[in-house]
Amino acid sequence: MRVTIEQRTLRFRRPLQTSYGALAQREIFELAIEGADGVPGRGEAAPLEPYDGVSDDRARAALEAYRPILEDGEALAGGELLDACRAADDLPQALAAVDMALWDRAGRRAGKPVAALLTDSVLGEVLVNATIGAEDRAGAAASAEAARRAGFRCVKLKVGIGDDAGRVAAVRAALGPAPELRLDANGAWTVDEAVRTIDALAAAGLELVEEPVHGLGPLRDVRERVTVRIAMDETTDVPGALASGAADAVCLKLARCGGISGLLACASLVRASGAEPYVASTFDGPLGIAAALHAAAALRIQAACGLATLDLFTDVEHTLAVRDGTIAVPRGPGLL
């Protein structure tokens, strides 16, 4: 197969403040494959070192290790190709690009959207949340008002930076009582800090709090001591986390799961534990968001997914527009 790898810089419209620092831009790697039949497939690797510890150089090295395997893999089935790449370098963020490209190529060959290859019963659109960075009260309120006017039914606010009570109150006042409000602390708190803060903020009407602390034991402790639902995010990297039942909900991301195939398997483990899965991005590009939409639609996920992130960038053209708090699943062959 013919293989190309291109690096692309995505720049945020304004720096996004999180508990692990401000993000001004991020790098992604677009992988394209094309078989002798002329049918292409595209995928995307989206490492985010401050979040997952995977550097851009590490991701590129893994993709380059896959190149000769893909080039010589015309006769192999998709699963065999993915296994061969995994044996060469087991890096989920890079394997996600291969997995996406193989699903994209399969959809194009079949003349069907990827979601239709995954199941016969797919959602036509996926509910998504707006994301508000750790801005001051006025900025957070203005972003919440804009989200409400745009029809979002769920808003996620980054917390763990400071003035959380003031910012949460400002956001809830701007949203009104109806939209769901979820918080994301990115593990910024200790157990006691998390319990104290969540108890203080619960009156604002919280759908859930995502990753208030890191670790299975701490998450269990917080969950047992508060009335608000607790979601797991970064802690999913801990062995056994997905089936642990340590949280009420689990945030799954394509890059961390190794692509669509891995995300579907992860969602099965989460559901078997009694927790609710939902899907979010690591500020991916259009291919990553499209792949996540196909996966969420095939899984028929009902919770709002964190996939309305493309408009955070200044230089990304896409057709995955948010309408009334949802994004329509692409209906063309392949991913997009």
Local structure of residue 151 (DSSP, 8 states): T
Choice among 153, 253, 256, 294 that is catalytic: 253
Q: Is 34 exposed, middle or buried (0-12, 13-18, 19+ CB in 10 A)?
A: middle
Handedness of CA 22, 25, 29, 30 (dihedral sign): positive
Q: 3-state SS of the chain: helix, strand, coil percent to 5? A: 40, 25, 35
Q: What's the confidence (pLDDT) of residue 17?
A: 76
104: left (phi over 0), alpha (psi -120 to 50) or beta: alpha
Q: Please report which helix (H) or strand (E) contains residue 173, including its range.
A: helix 164-175
Low-confidence ranges of the chain (pLDDT < 70): 19
Give the model's pLDDT for residue 22.
85
At residue 323, the pLDDT reads 95
Is residue 3 within 8 Å of 32, Cβ to Cβ? yes
Q: Catalytic annotation on 156?
A: no
- In 3D, which of 252, 259, 264 has the Cα closest to residue 118? 264
Report the number of secondary-structure helices (H) and strands (E) in the chain.
Answer: 12, 13
| Cα angle for residues 62, 99, 259 (degrees, 5° grid) | 90
- How many whole angstroms separate alpha carbon 282 and alpha carbon 27? 11
CA distances to 6, 74, 161, 305 from 301, in Å: 32, 34, 30, 8
Q: Judge contact between 42 and 100, C-beta under 8 A.
A: yes
pLDDT tens by residue, 126-145: 999 999 987 899 999 999 99
Active site residue 112: no
For 140, which DSSP code?
H
Tokens 């802690």 sit at which residue?
235
The predicted pLDDT at position 15 comes to 87
Residue 315, CB-side half-sphere exposure with 13 Å CA sphere: 9
Q: Judge residue 277's burial from the number of C-beta atoms within 10 Å of its C-beta, 0-12 exposed, 13-18 middle, 19 or more buried.
A: buried
Tell me the pLDDT tens digit for each residue of 273-297: 999 999 999 999 999 999 999 999 9
Rounded distance between C-alpha atoms, residue 22 and residue 81, angstroms: 37
Cα separation, 301 vs 279, in Å, equals 8
Q: Which of 108, 153, 158, 214 is catalytic?
A: 158
